[in-house]
Amino acid sequence: MKSDLDRASIACSLDRPDVVRRRARWRALAARGAVEVVPTGRGLRLTFRADAGVAAELDRLVAFERECCPWADWSVRSDGEQIELQVSGDSDETVAAVHGMLGSLVAPAT
């Protein structure tokens, strides 16, 4: 059983208005350039088109998330055409939190 300290370590440090604003920025970025969101064994891999402004906004958002969500690992790499964001965690709780934060940014193909 997890202790309160373990659960607290994945808590969001943002207040409600900041969470709403941050989610809106992620959704706007996804609408502009997200290609896919793929579950991994430890979190998610998000792929974006390297369209104008996408990399800069992704870098800003990842920098913010590294501050308020240090329990997750945030890794960005680009090949010039696409930008890949890997977000992962070390526990079932952190993986679930990553999925909850970013898992619905791209609607599944129909």
Task: Compute the C-alpha angle 6/41/108, nearest 5°.
Answer: 110
Supply 33's token pair: 């350039």
pLDDT at 107: 67
CB hemisphere CA count around 21 (13 angstroms): 8
Contact 78, 50 (CB under 8 A): yes
pLDDT digits (tens, 9 = 90+) for 10-34: 777 788 999 999 999 999 999 999 9
Confidence of residue 2 (pLDDT cuts 50, 70, 90): very low
Q: Is it the case that residue 3 has pLDDT exceeding 90?
A: no
Q: Does 3.30.70 match the CATH number of domain 34-110?
A: yes
Rounded to two decimals, the pTM is 0.85
pLDDT digits (tens, 9 = 90+) for 57-98: 999 999 999 998 999 999 999 999 999 999 999 999 999 999
pLDDT at 96: 93
Supply 16's token pair: 């409600």
Domain layout of the chain by residue ranges? 34-110
Q: Is 80 left (phi over 0), alpha (psi -120 to 50) or beta?
A: left
